[in-house]
């Protein structure tokens, strides 16, 4: 089902957003715009819901799915062993397009945790995906709404019809900004490493850490 979101949906109750919220809470799938591209959102604590994404995207389940959190408070509540380096980067770049790998509680689906038990999460700038996360318990998956290996879509029209037909709801909020995806980094107690180059450069991260 295709849903169109009005510009002022935050200012008054919106039946269309409520449908998307119900879909997530029931274990369904929703296509929603992020600060970069359209993504597929599900509840990351429901294993069957997360597993369904791999079938929809025709993607190997060996690669964990990234997450969006509605705020740093939600991140703090479900992660541990967060180093001073990670906290500095959160303070500097969140909300923003920086995904940080963090030790996480086992209640997350194994499909969003890597072999070391870490999740990749970001608190993005204001966007429909972050708003949706805030309404469904603070967390959603945020993997691009495309078939594996294809370009990430800036608009719903760029998403393959077959993929659109495989999800429960689509929140069409017009064109996403596009650009580079989020930067992904892994952080330890003493250092950090670049996992994926994205919109936040290595230079900016180093500068934030006084390196």
Tally Cβ neighbours within 10 Å of residue 2: 11
Report yes or no: 73 and 137 within 8 Å, Cβ to Cβ.
Answer: no
Q: What is the pTM of this model?
A: 0.91
Domain definitions of the chain by residue range: 2-208
What residues pair up with 151 in beta bridges, in sequence order?
A: none
Token pair in block for residue 78:
């479900």
Q: Please give the chain's pLDDT, 211 residues, in tens.
A: 444 444 443 444 488 888 999 999 999 999 999 999 999 999 999 999 999 999 999 998 888 999 999 999 999 999 999 999 999 999 999 999 999 999 999 999 999 999 999 999 999 999 999 999 999 999 999 999 999 999 999 999 999 999 999 999 999 999 999 999 999 999 987 899 999 999 999 999 999 999 8
Query: If one looks up domain 2-208 in CATH, what number appears?
Result: 3.90.870.10
């Amino acid at each position: 089902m295709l849903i169109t979101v009005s510009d002022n949906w935050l200012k008054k109750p919106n039946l269309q957003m409520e449908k998307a919220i119900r879909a997530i809470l029931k274990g369904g799938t929703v296509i929603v715009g992020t600060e970069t591209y359209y993504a597929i959102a599900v509840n990351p604590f429901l294993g069957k819901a997360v597993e369904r994404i791999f079938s929809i995207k025709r993607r190997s389940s060996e690669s964990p799915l990234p997450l969006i959190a509605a705020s740093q408070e939600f991140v703090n509540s479900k992660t541990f062993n967060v180093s001073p380096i990670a906290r500095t980067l959160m303070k500097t770049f969140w909300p923003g397009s920086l995904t940080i790998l963090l030790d996480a509680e086992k209640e997350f689906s194994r499909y969003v945790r890597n072999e070391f038990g870490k999740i990749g999460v970001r608190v993005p700038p204001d966007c429909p995906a972050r708003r949706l996360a805030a309404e469904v318990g603070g967390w959603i998956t945020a993997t691009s709404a495309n078939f594996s290996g294809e370009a990430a879509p800036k608009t719903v029209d760029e998403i393959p019809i077959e993929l659109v037909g495989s999800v429960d709801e689509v929140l069409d909020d017009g064109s996403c900004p596009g650009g580079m995806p989020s930067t992904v980094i892994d952080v330890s107690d003493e250092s950090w490493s670049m996992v994926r180059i994205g919109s936040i450069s290595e230079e900016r991260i180093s500068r934030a850490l006084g390196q």
